[in-house]
């Protein structure tokens, strides 16, 4: 569009006319179309659910005693699962990272398994094998949830270990005279706080949303209650679902903000909650919570 100008003419022109802006690469219209469709698809059902449930249903939800006991059961299981997961996975992950780095690949592969194996398949196997005394209590669920939470816990912790120079700190601690337990407790774990928080929140979110295993084990956790309660009142179930979603959202926001804040303090990048790290791995969130 600009006229071709020889060097001589250019010298004689002063001031030089403004250049036309080069055409931007992509036409922005399609981008807005996509974003709009996405926004509609994801937000309308939320709105619809709110409308469907109606304000009354929300107040009614908490009034049913079965709601309370189901929620309490879920929370109890979440606590058990989280504690067990941390107790099992933190020492293991640290140990493998420091002492057995050669099997890290195998660890990643093993911890993918609970994602690869559909919980529906896992639970039927567990139910077949579990001894009677475990079957009678809901605590079996807690034990199974540890297996389900393993992928997320391992990945969070492994990412956390990679984010600071563990080896050097451990060596420094040892050289200053601290034994293994002290080093673990005072040096490694405090630096893993964010990762442990991530693992905790992901486990809690998992347990609160888990339906498959609980329903087949015939225990009325919160999601199971929601489904069963639909017979009585659709709107109440929907209201309870929205509450569950809201709590999940809160929990995830929690990780992102706390994790982001502490990572920024250390000068790191955003917390990679949903990251696909290097080879042979899966994102930290899977599609459907069980």
Contacts of another protein in 121-150 (CB under 8 A) = 121-122, 124-129, 143-144, 146-147, 150
Kindly tell me which of 173 and 221 has the beta carbon lying closer to another protein.
221
State the sign of the Cα–Cα–Cα–Cα dihedral 107, 109, 115, 119: negative
Residue 270 CB, shortest distance to another protein, in Å, is: 9
Q: Are 123 and 212 in contact (CB under 8 A)?
A: yes
Q: Which stretch binds another protein (CB under 8 A): 155-163, 171-179, 187-195, 242-250?
A: 242-250
Tell me how far the alpha carbon of residue 171 is from its chain's centroid. Answer: 32
Which residue from 60, 69, 92, 191 is in contact with another protein, where contact means CB under 8 A? 92
Kindly tell me which of 249 and 266 has the beta carbon lying closer to another protein.
249
Q: Are 77 and 207 in contact (CB under 8 A)?
A: yes
Q: How far is CA 118 from CA 30, 140, 210, in A?
A: 37, 18, 13
What is the contact mask toward another protein in residues 165 to 204, using x (rule: CB under 8 A)? ----------------------------------------
Residue 175 CB, shortest distance to another protein, in Å, is: 21
Residue 61 CB, shortest distance to another protein, in Å, is: 12
Q: Which stretch binds another protein (CB under 8 A): 26-34, 66-74, 166-174, 191-199?
A: 26-34
- Which tokens hold the place of 117? 């194996």
What is the contact mask toward another protein in residues 50 to 69, using x (rule: CB under 8 A)? -xxx----------------
Q: Are 188 and 170 in contact (CB under 8 A)?
A: yes
Distance CA 164, CA 187 (A): 11
What is the contact mask toward another protein in residues 251 to 290, using x (rule: CB under 8 A)? -xx--x----------------xxxx-xxxxxx-xxxxxx
State the sign of the Cα–Cα–Cα–Cα dihedral 216, 220, 226, 232: positive
Distance CA 58, CA 290 (A): 24
Residue 169 CB, shortest distance to another protein, in Å, is: 19
Residue 1 CB, shortest distance to another protein, in Å, is: 6
Q: Which stretch binds another protein (CB under 8 A): 71-79, 98-106, 155-163, 166-174?
A: 98-106
As a dihedral over the C-alpha atoms of residue 54, residue 56, residue 61, residue 63, rounded to 10 degrees, the angle is -170
Q: Are 53 and 239 in contact (CB under 8 A)?
A: yes
Residue 190 CB, shortest distance to another protein, in Å, is: 21
Q: Which stretch binds another protein (CB under 8 A): 60-68, 156-164, 191-199, 235-243?
A: 235-243
Residue 144 CB, shortest distance to another protein, in Å, is: 7
Residue 103 CB, shortest distance to another protein, in Å, is: 8
């Amino acid at each position: 569009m600009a006229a071709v100008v020889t060097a001589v003419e250019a010298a004689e022109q002063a001031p030089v006319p403004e250049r036309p802006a080069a055409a931007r690469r992509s036409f922005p219209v399609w981008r807005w179309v996509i974003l709009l469709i996405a926004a509609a698809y994801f937000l309308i059902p939320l709105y619809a659910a709110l409308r469907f449930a109606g304000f009354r249903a929300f107040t009614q939800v908490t009034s049913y005693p079965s709601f309370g006991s189901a929620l309490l059961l879920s929370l109890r299981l979440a606590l058990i699962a989280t504690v067990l997961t941390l107790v099992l996975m933190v020492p293991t992950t640290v140990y493998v990272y420091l002492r057995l780095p050669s099997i890290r690949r195998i660890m990643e592969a093993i911890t993918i398994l609970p994602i690869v194996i559909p919980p529906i398949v896992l639970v039927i196997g567990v139910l077949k094998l579990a001894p009677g005394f475990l079957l009678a209590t809901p605590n079996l669920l807690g034990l199974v949830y540890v297996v389900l939470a393993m992928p997320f816990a391992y990945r969070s912790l492994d990412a956390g270990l990679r984010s600071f120079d563990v080896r050097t700190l451990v060596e420094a601690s040892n050289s200053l005279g601290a034994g293994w337990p002290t080093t673990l407790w005072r040096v490694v774990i405090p630096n893993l706080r964010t990762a442990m928080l991530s693992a905790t929140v992901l486990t809690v979110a998992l347990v609160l949303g888990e339906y498959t295993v609980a329903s087949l084990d015939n225990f009325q956790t919160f999601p199971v209650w929601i489904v069963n309660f639909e017979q009585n009142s659709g709107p109440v179930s929907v209201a309870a679902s929205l509450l569950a979603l809201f709590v999940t959202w809160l929990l995830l926001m929690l990780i992102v903000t706390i994790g982001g804040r502490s990572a920024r303090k250390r000068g790191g990048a955003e917390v990679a909650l949903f990251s696909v790290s290097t080879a042979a791995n899966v994102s930290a969130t899977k599609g459907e919570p069980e």
